[in-house]
Structure 1
């Protein structure tokens, strides 16, 4: 009965948010509450939800301060010289333009926000694509793939935050083994950009244009790169040192991630925006994105608390174990990576990482496999997720480029699936996930 109720709960939750009948925040709260009442846990449900919320508090704090830290670094202009360098370097060569798109996206994507990333990248690169009549589908695909890898494999990105928060795993333990996969994935996207750009070069040739004269005057580019009221070009080396110090401390694990980014965000604000009014404005500028995500994380904690407290997750894991052949047990992380490809395409991140991944993690425990490997394996399919027109940042990307969703899917699907498979192989080779035969 618990298996049926648990499966029904996840199914109803998925349908409601996929059909836009409820927001993730609302569905994560009301759906498990309803099913807990049906299962007869009415007197215990508040305790279950509270325990779940307590379990995600540290992750929510980490996410809040990490988003604020990287938001401040982007506001202060830490990455502006690199962005300008990319624009200067690519000129009229489609190969360089495609590679520049991938590199620029990877740099901007560090804040984990797809909307901001695509706004900056498209505003910066689209005039150049139009100038030489280059296929905008290449811009859409390379930027999407690059963002999906950086956002998906970093612990402050949306997918990881969801699973790590509800399962109570350490961010550093998740991230460090995936660093080689992250680097390899970005290199792979750069290679794909080279392939796509080379095809465009064959079609249109190399166009001799003066990029800087034509595009530094572009109003959209000026709005994203030359925000003189908030950028701090004189402090770029200080900000670079601070960012390197924070990332080094995160990787070494010498401090809890939430505390580390809290201190980093405060120091960054004091250095770049010393007045109280400036600090209030920076916090206000990033509050909307952060609070939306954190609300979902806390609601996801309540969802996980009910799933765990009612033992539905145990029942679902037991049922899953019973249908997987014993000889496949050691391959479970790879199986998770492969099944995550269709799941990430068909489901929202909230539905999959709050509803399904905890069940898979519980199943891994039964097999004697470290459940953190399940979370790592699940995020490797993120390149497929951003094909969904239900993802707000994807809608923005397609809208800014004036593309039809059908043409975008036809062009990007094969590259997204291939990239997910490459990430799984890279994770296997570098130890992000492992198998035992």
Structure 2
């Protein structure tokens, strides 16, 4: 009975958010609560399950809030401006350098894990260059899409945050074993960019280019720039990333302190701080509130034992001799799954079942999370019709979504395959 109710809960949740009948936050809360009542649990019991779930995801929610604030502050302060200007000066009208430079800049900017911000920054910097050089108009959104893929595995991205909260783990355990795979993904993207660049250089040749990045900033962006503090910001960011990867300080605590320090150093005046907080507050609230709503969903499914019952049912259907393939199959199908499932549907609906099934077979459930992150709404989100940022990307590039998908989909799938192979070779996931 619990197994059927569990599958029904997830099925209803998936249908509601895929068909956009309810918002994700609403569905995450109402569906499990209603199904919990159907299963016979009292309001007090459901309340305790909800509270337990919220406690589990609280560190992730806090991490996400302050990580977004930190990197948003650094972007506003202009930490990455010299890199942008340097790349533009370096390319000098060479299509090969332009396309490879696009990939490098996208990866750097996407350190904040925010696809929307990355698309706006990179597209505004490079679209005039691509137009002036007459480079294939599908190249820019294609390379940007590929470049954000491996970088979107950073533990403070919305996708990773979902995986971390679902599996009730921390960033170090989920992220660190995937680092070799991420590096392999980056190398693959740079190879593809180089290949594309060679083709365009052969077709177009090298031309003169005159372009000023500073002229493309709005007046408000210029007012928030802090060029004199760039070295302090760079040292702070490097120290933050090293500390995070070494696990010296819990990630949520680290980002709380770092974000406040960054805000205070760059904007000591209260009105300036308020400008930064207001400009990014909506994004911070929407993403973090979704994580806490996910705590309600996972808390009820776990506390009611629905997850255990569903996993037991799946175990009975999977031949034991094939169980070891579960992480690998999850990884290979993760990128195409981005076309079918939103990140919420996949990480809150599918991953819990897969991870519990893996546990039944003696497989580390974290391998399912690492495998899923190799493609599902990381590599896959810039080509998925289920994410708003995809439409922002193709809109800014002035291309059709279908043309964009047809052009870059196979190369994106290649990223997932390369990362999956390296993950297997390095032990992030096992056969």
**How is 1:262-277 mapped onto 2 (pairs within 5 angstroms)?**
262-277=256-271
Deviates further, 171-180 or 394-403: 171-180
Task: Please list the CA deviations of residues 158-192 of structure 1 after superposition, one character each: whole Å capped at 9, or x if unmatched.
Answer: 11101211322011111222222222211211111
Matches within 5 A, 1:95-244: 95-151=96-152, 153-206=153-206, 208-211=207-210, 214-216=211-213, 219=215, 221-223=216-218, 227-244=221-238
Residue 301 of structure 2 corresponds to: 307
**2:277 aligns to what?**
283
Distance 1:321 1:197 in 2: 48
Count of aligned pairs between the two proteins: 428
Contact kept, 8 Å, 1:78 with 1:233, in 2: the verdict is yes
Matched, 1:10 2:7: no
- TM-aligned CA distance change 1:386 to 1:216, over 3 Å: closer
Asked if the contact 1:128/1:215 (under 8 Å) is kept, the reply is no
Structure 2 equivalent of residue 390 of structure 1: 386
After TM superposition, give the deviation of residue 313 of structure 1 in Å: 0.8
Question: How far does residue 40 in structure 1 lie from its aligned partner after superposition?
Answer: 1.7
**Contact 1:94/1:201 (8 A) holds in 2:** yes
Deviation of 1:155 (Å): 0.7
Contact 2:339-2:386 at 8 Å conserved across structures: no
Paired position in structure 1 for 2:23: 23
State the SS of the aligned residue for 2:335: helix
When the two chains are superposed, the root-mean-square deviation of aligned CA atoms in Å is 1.7
1:240 CA displacement: 0.9
Say if 2:320 is the partner of 1:326.
yes
Matches for 1:402-421 after TM superposition, within 5 Å: 402-421=398-417
Partner of 1:358: 352
Q: 2:128 is paired with a residue of what secondary structure?
A: helix
Distance 1:251 1:409 in 2: 34
In the TM superposition, what is the alpha-carbon distance from 1:318 to its structure 2 partner? 1.4
Distance (whole Å) between structure 2 residues aligned to residue 304 and residue 417 of structure 1: 30
Deviations 1:367-404 (A, max 9, x none): 22221111111010132233112201101001111211
Residues 52 and 166 of structure 1 are in contact (CA less than 8 Å); yes or no, is this contact kept in structure 2? no
Contact 1:13 1:28 in 2 (8 A): yes
Q: Deviations over 1:25-83 (max 9, x none)?
A: 11111111222222222432222122111111111011111111111111111111111
Deviates more, 1:270-279 or 1:253-262: 270-279
Please give the alpha-carbon distance, in whole angstroms, between the structure 2 residues aligned to 1:17 and 1:149. Answer: 26
How far residue 7 of structure 1 moved from its aligned partner, in angstroms, is 1.6
Instruction: List gaps (5 residues or longer) in structure 1.
Output: none
The separation in 2 between residues aligned to 1:35 and 1:156, in whole angstroms, is 31
Shift, 1:431, TM fit: 2.9
Residue 369 (structure 2) aligned to one of 367, 375, 378: 375
How far did residue 229 of structure 1 move?
Answer: 1.2
Contact 2:151–2:182 (8 Å) recurs in 1: yes
Deviations 1:252-293 (A, max 9, x none): 111111111111111111211112222222222221111000
Distance 2:386 2:330 in 1: 23
Higher mean alpha-carbon deviation, 348-357 vs 330-339, is at 330-339
| Distance (Å, rounded) in 1 between the aligned partners of 2:117 and 2:201 | 29
TM-score by length of structure 2 reads 0.95
Q: What is the alpha-carbon distance in structure 2 between the residues aligned to residue 34 and residue 46 of structure 1?
A: 12
